[in-house]
Amino acid sequence: MVQEKARSPHLVLAMLLLVYIFNFLDRQILGILAQPIKTDLGLTDTELGALGGIAFALLYSVLGVPFAVIADKTSRSGVIAISLAVWSGFTALCGIATGFWQLFLFRLGVGIGEAGGVAPSYALIADYFPPHQRARALSIYSLGIPLGLAGGAFFGGWIAETVEWRVAFIVVGIAGVLIAPVFKYLVKDLPRPAPAAAAARVPVSTVFKIVAKKPSFWLLAFAASCSSLVGYGLAFWVPSVMIRSFGFSLLEASQYMGSLLLVGGTAGVFAGGWLADKLGGKDRGVYARLPAIAWLICAPLFATALLSDSPLVAWFLLVIPNGLNLLWLGPVTTAIQHLVPQAMRATASASFLFINNLIGLGLGSLVMGKMSDMMTVRFGNDALRYSVVAATTFYLLAAILILFAVKTLRKDWEDEPQQA
């Protein structure tokens, strides 16, 4: 088989970033449209939380591992392109849903598609960028999270306010389908050396046994899960908090949330990768210590901001943790890549993502929504606000768990052999 010419690493990273933006844009659009969807379809906060969490995360988490194995054995770029087309198609279908269960099934479809996107992308970046640039490259890729979340907030709110919420799903979904073939044309897999090709045939159970023996894997996975539970829940519910407790319109809430994610989120993601690359060469424990410090700052700032009576004061308090709560992405995803040999990276990443997404993404919005319904009788419209504030305590648990990984990472880290 003739190997296609590899593209520039920066072009590959730019295309992966674009796909990742659509990944999170398709997630966030449901959160910003939660209020009109709730009114139109007559849903409870618990049902909305299920749509934002478990409906998406259930198959997304389970299928991530087999899709990553396929990517390791075949074409990582091909799996990503097909995944983009599938999840975008189901996003468009969300615009025609007429009830909870129909929308639930369409969200399952979005999760199936997105299951094949992230782990192969991590592996492609690790292939294209040398170790000393990897955390920064992964952080640039992870900018897709705040950019996608901000885009979903800005454009979802604007389209829904201008036309209706259904059109927002359809427009975003069709755009993603159109980008998929362009991505496949521009992004190529790098040729793998013979040892890597042989390692790619290693069963997923073997890869999992390798990481399961390393304490760092479990500490990083469960710490990230606790952080993601709060982060995904906040991204989904804060627009609704601004509408219910601060009296915002849908458009005002979308602009407010979008600006927070754009300013704070992008700075936090990039800073995490830059600091990890700069400091981690001398001490691998830095890859765990940086997220711990960030999460310890996040919890009180989020709680204080959401309990504030002033939207302006809340914005300045929220912009800092909106950056810090994403700072972990570059350091932690880089560390996971270095727990296994090169050809097993996508599978190892998928194993990590399985835990992180099943707990964090699956439960975040659902737990907050359920607590909101339970507290509505006592607190009325402010029930959701207090539910979100209570959930920020998971940041403290995340910080404690990852601090234990500072020492274990120094032992579990696998350096790459020097190129001749």
Q: Does residue 16 carry a pLDDT above 90?
A: yes
Dihedral sign of CA atoms 379, 57, 353, 121 in order: negative
pLDDT at residue 2 in the model: 39
Dihedral of the CA atoms 166, 172, 178, 182 (nearest 10)? -170
Distance, CA of 306 to CA of 148 (rounded, Å): 23
Q: Does residue 161 carry a pLDDT above 50?
A: yes
The three state secondary structure string of 212-247 is: HCCHHHHHHHHHHHHHHHHHHHHHHHHHHHHHHHHC
Q: Does residue 419 carry a pLDDT above 50?
A: no
pTM comes to 0.74
- Mean pLDDT, rounded, of the chain: 83
pLDDT at residue 218 in the model: 92
Residue 413's CB: how many other CB atoms inside 10 A?
16
Q: Are 272 and 290 in contact (CB under 8 A)?
A: yes
Instruction: Read off the pLDDT of each residue in 184-190 and give the average, rounded to a whole number.
Output: 84
Reduced to 3 states (helix: H, G, I; strand: E, B; else coil), residue 384 is: helix
Long-range CB contacts (within 8 A, 24+) of 174-178 = 174/88, 174/92, 175/22, 175/88, 176/22, 176/26, 176/84, 176/85, 176/87, 176/88, 176/91, 177/84, 177/85, 177/88, 177/89, 177/92
Query: Closest Cα partner for 211 from 331, 338, 335, 339?
Result: 339
Instruction: Read off the pLDDT of each residue in 11-37 and give the average, rounded to a whole number.
Output: 86
pLDDT digits over 246-287, tens only?
Answer: 888 888 888 888 888 888 777 776 676 677 667 656 777 888
pLDDT at residue 152 in the model: 81
Instruction: Read off the pLDDT of each residue in 63-77 and give the average, rounded to a whole number.
Output: 81
Q: Does residue 242 carry a pLDDT above 50?
A: yes
Q: Are 67 and 82 in contact (CB under 8 A)?
A: no
Instruction: Read off the pLDDT of each residue in 35-61 and give the average, rounded to a whole number.
Output: 83
Q: How many helices (H) and strands (E) does the chain have?
A: 22, 0
Distance, CA of 21 to CA of 24 (rounded, Å): 5
